[in-house]
Amino acid sequence: MSIRPSEAMVQTATARMTKYRWVIVALLFTAMTINYIDRQALGLMKADLSDEFSWSEQDYANAIFWFQAAYAASYLIWGRVIDRIGARWGLGIAFAIWQVAHLLHAGMRSLTGFIFARALLGIGEGGGFPGSIKAVTEWFPKKERAFATGLFNAGTNVGAIATPLIVPVIVLTWGWQAAFIVTGLGGLLWLPIWFLVYKRPQDHPKVSEAELAHITQDPEESIEKVDWRVIVRLRETWAFAVAKFLTDPIWWMFLFWLPDFLGKQYGLDLKSFGPPLVAIYLLSDVGSVGGGWLSSRFMQRGWSINRARKTTMLVCGLMALPVAFAGQASSLWLAVLIIGIATAAHQGFSANLYTLPSDVLPRGAVGTVIGIGGMLGGVGGMLMSKYAGYVLDKIGNYTPIFLVCSVAYLLALTVVHVLMPRMTRVQIPAAPAAV
């Protein structure tokens, strides 16, 4: 006679809350870490490559410009594609493209070749955030999304921390080509793991009924796809997109020009970039997780989404103001502290900004809106590249650039508040069947 579990035991097992959604966040965190190693490597090698290939400030700015142009255009496309095919395939394909592009850098011998490789990298990386935000939207209820976004977004800082620790060692040991090859092949290990692990929560065998109920606790949405012609007419779309246009270029500037600033201002080089950059991006990690945690904490205390998100973004905007004086810092570590607080402010602001589309729009529109915002953020980054190259060629210092960085977040928050004064849920019709 076989022994069967009691009904009470079965109900207890069924009701047990699994936490598999945090495994998904860990995968997204790792993808963002790899993304930023690939993205930042060129900036660390700027001085060496400029010497080898005789690049001017504008030559380097052009390489960054075309990366951002490709990133902007593809971000828009990826947003729509990921809304249609889902996070699993969308993020997986995007990752494969950007990792292959990173490897291709090792074979380039001219500025044109590097521009091609950077543009292909931008095409792939344009799918990183739309895919990750889509995954968070599928796996988390609203009250946890900002925190989950802050956690995976912290991977960008870990990538920025790892790059100055890993890349210089490889370059000094085997040369700059090896830096692209070693990090590129290592990053590819993520891809098969993603396809093996990721499924929608309702299809995942490791998600309990209790966790699925937790994930799907928000009111069910019947709309799966939303006509893009409806999306582009929404004030909420442009609140997010204009805020991205204003704030994304600031992060691009830190990522691509910070090693150059530290080199010119304090005499650092490939051997000595590590500790200051690690300190800056450790502070960024605190901001990323802290910004997401703070707004989620406010909501747990009964605050509305509107009040929680905007209060957190205001705090971050105020924290960024002192970076206007980074160029006049009397010592290296004072500059590191000022810039680190500003990058922390950016990440905290960004963690909340990224949740806004899922806060107010149906799931079927989230990827598209993220894509529009990312496109405008990329356009802003292109303009920042040209501006930085011009300022450094004509003026020769970073003060005008840091001044722009200091005010961008409060300006972006003003735009969000004007266009979304209450952040109420938008009711929009489904796309016509023929579209």
Do residues 177 and 106 touch, judged by C-beta distance below 8 A? yes
How far lies 123's CA from each of 36, 119, 363, in Å?
14, 6, 24
Do residues 316 and 376 touch, judged by C-beta distance below 8 A? no
Nearest to 350 by CA among 218, 90, 152: 152
Q: What tokens does 402 get?
A: 């840091």
Query: What pLDDT is stored for residue 147 in this prediction?
Result: 86
Distance separating alpha carbons of residues 214 and 111, to the nearest angstrom = 51
pTM for the structure as a whole? 0.77
Instruction: Tell me how long the chain is.
Output: 435
Do residues 332 and 262 touch, judged by C-beta distance below 8 A? yes
How far lies 363's CA from each of 27, 164, 416, in Å?
21, 38, 20
Per residue in 373-395, pLDDT (tens digit) is 988 998 999 999 899 989 998 88
Question: Where are the domains positioned within the chain?
Answer: 18-419
Nearest to 179 by CA among 37, 33, 32: 37
CATH code linked to domain 18-419? 1.20.1250.20
Q: What tokens does 379 get?
A: 């356009």
Do residues 303 and 359 touch, judged by C-beta distance below 8 A? no
Share in percent of the chain as helix, strand, coil (round to 5)? 80, 0, 20
3-state secondary structure of 352: helix
What is the block-wise mean pLDDT of the chain (435 residues), using blocks of 10 residues?
41 66 95 93 88 89 91 84 90 96 95 95 92 91 85 85 91 94 95 94 91 85 71 94 96 90 90 90 88 90 94 97 96 97 95 89 82 89 91 90 97 97 80 47
With tokens 């009691």, the residue in question is 6
Distance separating alpha carbons of residues 307 and 324, to the nearest angstrom = 28
Query: What pLDDT is stored for residue 374 in this prediction?
Result: 85
C-alpha distance across the termini of the chain, in Å: 60
Query: What pLDDT is stored for residue 224 in this prediction?
Result: 60
Query: What pLDDT is stored for residue 430 in this prediction?
Result: 54
Query: What pLDDT is stored for residue 274 in this prediction?
Result: 87
**25 φ/ψ angles, rounded to the nearest 5 degrees:** -60, -40
Do residues 314 and 254 touch, judged by C-beta distance below 8 A? no
How far lies 13's CA from each of 5, 21, 202, 211, 214, in Å?
10, 18, 17, 12, 16
Distance separating alpha carbons of residues 81 and 317, to the nearest angstrom = 32
Query: What pLDDT is stored for residue 216 in this prediction?
Result: 87
Q: What tokens does 106 get?
A: 């090792």
Query: What pLDDT is stored for residue 7 in this prediction?
Result: 40
DSSP assignment of 253-307, as one string? HHHHHHHHHHHHHH---TTTSHHHHHHHHHHHHHHHHHHHHHHHHHHHTT--HHH
DSSP secondary structure code for residue 2 in this structure: -
DSSP assignment of 110-155, as one string? SHHHHHHHHHHHHHHHTTHHHHHHHHHHHHS-HHHHHHHHHHHHHH
Chain centroid offset of residue 93 CA: 17
Do residues 78 and 98 touch, judged by C-beta distance below 8 A? no
Distance separating alpha carbons of residues 349 and 331, to the nearest angstrom = 27
Query: What pLDDT is stored for residue 157 in this prediction?
Result: 79
Query: What pLDDT is stored for residue 421 in this prediction?
Result: 94
Distance separating alpha carbons of residues 423 and 236, to the nearest angstrom = 8
